[in-house]
A and B are shown apart, each in its own frame.
Chain A
C-alpha cells in the first residue's frame, strides 16, 4: 500500500505533485510499531503535545506582553487581571513548562531503562538531547520575561556562569547582557530568543521523529523487530493509546492549572525586579535543580560550571559508555538496580539543589554529584562487560504466541 486506499481525485492530484498524503499514510497510519509497547512509550507523544500547547499559549501571551523593563511586570499583571482568560493562558504556559519537562524527563529515563539510545538509535538519542538543551535554554529565558525578582536574579546568576570562562569570560557576559548588568537589552533579546527557540525545537522534533521512523521504535524487550508478526500499524492502535494517555495526562496538568497554579513557581517572582536587592534564597525552577546542585557541589567557580555542563554533555556519549549489547534492563538484573539508584541519585541532587548549600546538603550534594558521573563514566562501561544478562526471547511475538498456544 503506497498511497491512501480511499483516494479521491483531488487527493491523488495533490499527492502526485507533493506526496504529503503518502507521507502521512506511511508515518502516522501504517507506521509499523512494535506490538508490545507499554505506557512508558506514551511520553514522547505527550512531550510533542506539550510543545504544541506551549507554542499556542505562548503566542497568545505574547500578544499582550510588553518586553520592556518598565512595562513587563505590569503587562503580565494585566494579562492576569484584564485580558480575557489571560490568567488561564498564563497558568497553562507556566505549568505547561513543568509538565513539558516532566514528560521529557520520563521519556529520557524510559530511554535509559530500555536502552533506546543504543545502536542504531544514537542519532535519535542525540537529537533528543539537543531538544532537551534547547528546552532548557527556552525555559530559562522565558522565566526572565515576567521581570520579577526571581526572573532578574535568575538571569543574573545564570548569565554569570559564563564569567567563569578564562580570559574572555567577562566580555562574553557583557555581550550576553548588551550592557554592564542585566537590563532592558537583555530582556529584549531574551524575549526574541524565547519566541524563536520553540520553532527550532519544533524543527529538531521533526528530525527526531524522522530518525525514529528510519530506525523504528525500540520496545520493552529491547530486541529487534523480526517481521510483520511483531508489529501493528500505528493507527488505530497507538493513536488511540496516545489519545488515552493525553486524556489522563490532561487531568494531571489541568489539576495544577486550576487548583495549584503557583505550586511550581516562587512567590518572590511576584515582586517586581529590583537590581539593588537580591532575594535571600535563590532557587531555579525544579527541573534545573539537579544541575544547580552539581554546580554548587564543586568549591571552584570554573570547575563547577564545567561539571554542570558536563552533566549534560556526558549524555551524548551514553551510547558508547554503556557497553552492554543487551538493550532492555529487563534482561540486565544488575543494571536494572543501578538504573533505579541513578534515578534516586538525580532526585537527591534535586533535593540538594532546592536547599541552601549548608550543613548536610553540602556533603550530600558532593556524594550525589560523584555518583552521577561515576554511573556514566565507570559503572556503565564496566557493567556492560561483566554483567551476566538473562536470555533474550527469540522475537517480540514468540512469548505472546506461546502463551496463546498454551491457553488453547
Chain B
C-alpha cells in the first residue's frame, strides 16, 4: 500500500539508520524487560518456603534391630535405613570395584558400617525397589530388587544387574548422637 505523505520504514538514508537504532534499542529494552518480568512467574514454581522448611528429617535408630530395615519419608521420598548384619557388611566390602557398574567402595557409602542410609528410589525410572521387608525379594545380591524393570542392588545399595545406570543415592545425613541421624 502506498502512503505518499508518510515515509515508510526502511527507506535508505540518514532517517533509516536512526530508525533502525531506535528499533533495536526498543526491542532490546522490551525483550530484557519481559525476560525480567517473567522470572517471578517461573520462580514461583520452585519449592516454596514452607516446602524448604520440611527438607530435613530426624530419625531415632535405637528401635531398629540388627538385620532389620525401616523406611522413613524425607522430602516426600522414601529413605531406606538398614541395620546391616556382619555378613551383609562383609559381602558389601569384599566386592571388587571393577565388578561394579558405578564403582564406589562400601566405606564411601556408609558412615558407620552397620548403618546403611539410602534414598529408596530406583535410579532407572523412579520406582521404589523391594527388599525392606524380610518377605520381599532382594534380588541376586541380597540387597534390593526393583520390580518395575528388574534392577538388582547389593547390600551396599549398588547397582549390580538390570537397566539402572547408578547406585541408589546416599542422602546427606549426619549422626547427631550414636543412635540419631538427621537426613538433609
Contacts and interface: CB of A to CB of B under 8 A. Distances in A.
A63 B43 CA distance: 12
A81 interface: yes
A106 interface: no
B45 interface: yes
Contact of A84 (B3, B4, B8, B44): B44
Contacts, number: 59
Contact of B1 (A89, A233, A240): A233
Interface string B17-31: 000000100100010
B44 A243 contact: no
B41 A89 contact: yes
B49 interface: yes
B1 A32 contact: yes
Interface string B97-140: 00000000000000000000000000000000000000000000
Contacts of B23: 236
A83 interface: yes
B13 interface: no
A233 B48 contact: no
Interface residues of B, number: 21
B84 to A, nearest CB: 39
Contact of B5 (A89, A229, A236): A229
Interface residues of A, number: 28
Interface in A148-202: none
Given A1-B1, A240-B26, A397-B5, A64 B40 contact: no
Given A83-B48, A232-B3, A236-B9, A243 B41 contact: no
A30 interface: yes
A162 to B, nearest CB: 37
Contact of A243 (B9, B30, B49, B50): B30
B105 to A, nearest CB: 40
Nearest to A231: B3
A279 interface: no
B177 interface: no
Interface of A: 1, 30, 32, 35, 56-57, 60, 63-64, 78, 81-86, 88-89, 228-229, 231-233, 236-237, 240, 243, 397
Interface of B: 1-6, 8-9, 23, 26, 30, 40-41, 43-46, 48-51
